[in-house]
Structure 1
Amino acid sequence: MSGKGYQTLLECRRRGFLLRAHGFTVDQIAIVLSLDHPVSPLRLYRYAAGLTATQTVTAFNTLDSSGAASLRESRLYDYELWPEAGRRPPVWALRLLARIYGTAPGQLLSGEALAGYSGRDRDALRAAPGREVLTGSADQDLPVFS
């Protein structure tokens, strides 16, 4: 991985590491990062966790108990671009990504995007997370539980 996106991720990892050292939660880190990075909440949380798309996809596919619905990097990027472009993420995928990032699934969407889901789906997205937080570092190939 190279380019501006990777440099942004490295910057966010450094800031996230420093903020975690001061007791910030992943939700608070995502808010701080949003001040400098006008991207979707789903991408902000990946940045807040310090994970590359590859690490996120690996964790997702490892945690997916059904094993039937694997995630690819291209699909993750599609989800991160929605609703301006890309593809709307299904509720089950958001719930699994929330476990990886250590937040509630509804936090991964803007208020406008959340309103596009049915009432039942909005209730499922507001559920509490499993709080399994994965964090990445520049010298890691795969995420580890922290």
Structure 2
Amino acid sequence: MSGTGYQALLDCRRRSRLLRGHGFTVDQIAVILSLDHPASPLRLYRYVAGLTAGQVIAAYAALDPTNTATLREARLYDYENWPKAGRRPPAHALILLAAIYGTAPVRLISSETLGTYPPPSQRLLLRGQR
């Protein structure tokens, strides 16, 4: 993790703890942090959770019902950089990541991005909407 990225993670961890102490939800905290951290929703939710990429990879593997999780840190970063760069995360990855971050899968992508998924994937992502 770059120094700048790690500093952003530390700042978001601190602020998330404070905001949770005041009763803010994960989704509200993500909106607040987005004002100061220009990152994709997927990265912001990782920051709200206060997790490093390595911690997310471990949690992802533990949640994968097929026990065949193949998510690597580099791929997570690709997903977090998409759609400006990187790779679009598949719907099943967003569902697992949403479970880790404590939010709905559609909150991890923008509404414009949701439209780039095929209809069956959109339905899967919307199914867990809060």
Q: TM tier, shorter chain?
A: over 0.9
Deviation per residue, 1:24-66 (Å, 9 max, x gap) = 1110010000001111000010011111111111100111121
Distance (whole Å) between structure 2 residues aligned to residue 21 and residue 2 of structure 1: 29
Count of matched residue positions in the alignment of Structure 1 and Structure 2: 130
Aligned partners of 2:91 and 2:125 also within 8 Å: yes
Partner-residue secondary structure (3-state), 1:126: helix
Aligned partners of 2:61 and 2:68 also within 8 Å: no
Distance (whole Å) between structure 1 residues aligned to residue 79 and residue 20 of structure 2: 26
Distance (whole Å) between structure 1 residues aligned to residue 39 and residue 63 of structure 2: 25
* More moved, 16-25 vs 118-127: 118-127
Deviation per residue, 1:88-127 (Å, 9 max, x gap) = 1000000000000010000000111111011221111112
Partner-residue secondary structure (3-state), 1:18: helix
Distance (whole Å) between structure 1 residues aligned to residue 69 and residue 43 of structure 2: 21
Moved over 2 A (4+): none
1:68 deviates by 1.6
Q: Which amino acid aligns with 2:40?
A: S
Aligned partners of 2:104 and 2:128 also within 8 Å: yes
TM-score under structure 2 normalisation?
0.95
1:125 paired residue number: 125
2:64 paired residue number: 64
Distance (whole Å) between structure 2 residues aligned to residue 121 and residue 49 of structure 1: 25
Structure 1: give runs of 5+ residues left out of the alignment: 132-146
Taking only aligned residues, the RMSD between alpha carbons, in angstroms, comes to 1.4
Q: Which amino acid aligns with 2:104?
A: A
Partner-residue secondary structure (3-state), 2:127: coil
Q: Which structure dedicates a bigger proportion of its chain to helix?
A: 2
1:69 deviates by 3.0
1:3 deviates by 0.9
1:51 paired residue number: 51
Task: Give the percent of matched residue pairs that are identical in Structure 1 and Structure 2.
Answer: 64
